[in-house]
Amino acid sequence: MSSDKVLLDYGSGGRASQRLISELFIKHFANPELERLNDAAAFNIDGKISMSTDSFTVDPIFFPGGDIGSLAVHGTVNDVAMLGAIPKYLTCAYIIEEGFPMADLEKVVISMSEAVKDAGVAIVTGDTKVVPKGAIDKIFINTTGVGQIVADPMPSGDRATVGDAVLISGTMGDHGLTVLGTRGGISLESNVMSDSAALNHLLVKLVQEIPDVHVFRDPTRGGLATTLNEITTASNVCCELEESSIPVKPEVVGGCSILGLDPLYLANEGKFLCILPQKYAEQALEIMRADKHGKDACQIGNITDANPGKVILVTPLGGRRLLNMLEGEQLPRIC
């Protein structure tokens, strides 16, 4: 590109836009459907479709373990896959602040293209807008994904049933603490890294080998606590968790302790909850543990009828307390 910064011209729809599209996006996202440069993408998918959209506005855009580009792929691929679907195609819309460094844009695009290859999906259509300096914070990316649902019956948030086991694929809070810890003004020195990853291959393996998975859900914003509350409300059941079974890395526990945060409310971008009949729990855990994205998988609780709509945490002391939904955002406290 002729400029080292993104200029308003690149969003004009004229030649500058075309250069940006051909020399950056098509170069890295290369696939036949995208290269046609039609107004829309044409593709075939048989049967029931899973579709999801998400906008990514993370700050900072580069963080240990990932960046806004890979995150924009992982987030949407995972959402599509949570219905027991094979994600196939993505759309991708960039909104870029005027003056954004071209080198950073290319880093984000390359990261996105690698994430797409890893997930086995294709970006088939997209859009680029450049807005005046100050109108947004650096760069926003929206992705929409579609996939083919292969699970029958389909996992769904309202299918948690009394007697089910609650499984988690790994440690909680890694992504949330990483992003907060690298934000301006905090500079938390820690080895913790984002867990951002595409989970679709593992999720598909689970639904293909286990006859009936009731719920898949990724505990992203709001973390494990909020996600489980959504499920217990939708299914009108109680979820009883053993606090000591919930995996949290020691460095996340330490970082949260310093900042006054609770890891069970922190976002995760490479983990999922799996709720299914207890009789399939061991089989599911074996499948999960054999995959790099599920090596720390474990059972953390059960679905009961004790307090419908609520999530109860049984503490190591044997005490019982509510694990409520997050209200607003977690904030650092005074002392």
Partner 1 sequence: MSLKVLEQFKNPELCKKLLDCLNKEIEKEIRFMEVCGTHTVAIFRSGLHSVLPEKVIHLSGPGCPVCVTHESEVNAFLDLAGKDGVIIATFGDLIKVPGKKGHCLKNAQADGARVEIIYSPFDALEIARKNPNDTVVFLGVGFETTAPAIAATVMMAKEQKIDNFKVLSFHKLVPPALDVLISDPETMIDGFLLPGHVSTVIGIHPYDFIGAKYGTPAVVTGFEPVDILQALLQMVRSMKEEHPKVINQYQRGVSEYGNPKAVEVMYQVFESSDALWRGIGLIPNSGLEFSDKYESFDAKKVFDLKIGECPSLPGCKCGDVLKGKMTPEKCPLFGKACTPASPVGPCMVSTEGSCAAYFKYKVD
Question: Does position 309 bind partner 1 by CB under 8 A?
Answer: no
**Would you count residue 322 as binding partner 1 (CB under 8 A)?**
yes
Q: Give me the least distance between CB of 303 and partner 1, in Å please.
A: 17
Scanning 26-34, 35-43, 250-258, 285-293 for contacts with partner 1 by CB under 8 A, the matching segment is: 250-258
Phi–psi pair at 31, nearest 5 degrees: -165, 155
Query: Measured from the CB atom, is 32 or 185 closer to partner 1?
Result: 185
In the range 35-94, which residues lie near partner 1 by CB under 8 A? none
Structure tokens at 240: 């009883």
**By CB under 8 A, is residue 266 in contact with partner 1?**
no
The Cα 136–Cα 45 span in angstroms is 36
Stretch that binds partner 1, among 31-39, 203-211, 254-262, 270-278 (CB under 8 A): 254-262
For residue 84, the tally of other CB atoms under 10 A from its CB is 24
C-beta of 13 vs 332, nearer to partner 1: 332
Nearer to partner 1, 23 or 59 (CB): 59
User: In the complex, what is the shortest distance from the CB of residue 331 to partner 1, in angstroms, rounded to a whole number?
Assistant: 3
CA-to-CA dists, residue 181 to 85, 174, 177, 186, 299, angstroms = 34, 10, 6, 6, 28
Q: Residue 199 — φ and ψ, nearest 5°?
A: -105, 5
Among the candidate windows 19-27, 126-134, 198-206, 316-324, which touches partner 1 by CB under 8 A?
Answer: 316-324
Instruction: Return the residue of 211, 260, 308, 309 that touches partner 1, per CB under 8 A.
Output: 260
DSSP3 helix / strand / coil % (the chain, rounded to 5): 35, 25, 40
Number of residues interacting with partner 1: please give it, by CB under 8 A.
29
Residue 229: name the closest of 312, 315, 173 by CA: 312
Distance CA 105, CA 139 (A): 9
Judged by beta carbon, residue 254 or residue 277, the one nearer partner 1 is: 254
Do you know the residue count of the chain?
A: 335
| 254 contacts partner 1 (rule: CB under 8 A) | yes
Question: To the nearest whole angstrom, how small is the minimum distance from the Cβ of residue 183 to partner 1?
Answer: 10
Say which residues have a Cβ less than 8 Å from residue 208's Cβ, sequence separation at least 6: 150
The answer to whether 90 and 81 have CB atoms below 8 angstroms apart is: no
Write each residue from 176 to 205 as x if it is in contact with partner 1 (CB under 8 A), else as -, in one continuous string.
Answer: ---------xx-------------------
Contact assessment for residue 151 and residue 210, using Cβ atoms and an 8 Å cutoff = no
Residues that bind partner 1 (CB under 8 A): 185-186, 243, 250, 253-254, 259-260, 307, 310, 312-322, 324, 327-328, 331-335
